[in-house]
Amino acid sequence: MEIDRALPHWPQVAAEIRRRIQAGVYRAGKRLPGTVALAAEFDVSQSTAARAVASLRAEGLVYVVSGRGSFVADGAN
């Protein structure tokens, strides 16, 4: 996915992760790539990737296990 540099980056990253969750690429109970990996994949800062994941957490699509990472919530697919 190519980021449109004229628009805010984190909503675009969040939308792509959301699309992947809904398509079953990221499955319920499975760990999401870390913020470093997401930042590298989308060519954005780590804070942008973290903000995207945080927005998905606020939607209930993702949950965080301290020290382990972010996981797709049950029922998100």
Closest Cα partner for 16 from 45, 49, 59, 60?
A: 49
Read off the pLDDT band of 56 (50, 70, 90): very high
What are the tens digits of pLDDT across the range 8-54? 999 999 999 999 999 999 999 999 999 999 999 999 999 999 999 99
9-69 has CATH 1.10.10.10 classification: yes
What pLDDT does 73 receive? Answer: 97
Q: What are the backbone angles phi and psi of residue 10, rounded to the nearest 5°?
A: -60, -35
Where do the structural domains in the chain lie, given as residue ranges?
Answer: 9-69
Return the sign of the alpha-carbon dihedral for residues 36, 30, 61, 11. Answer: positive
Prediction pTM value: 0.93
Is the pLDDT at 77 greater than 80? The verdict is no
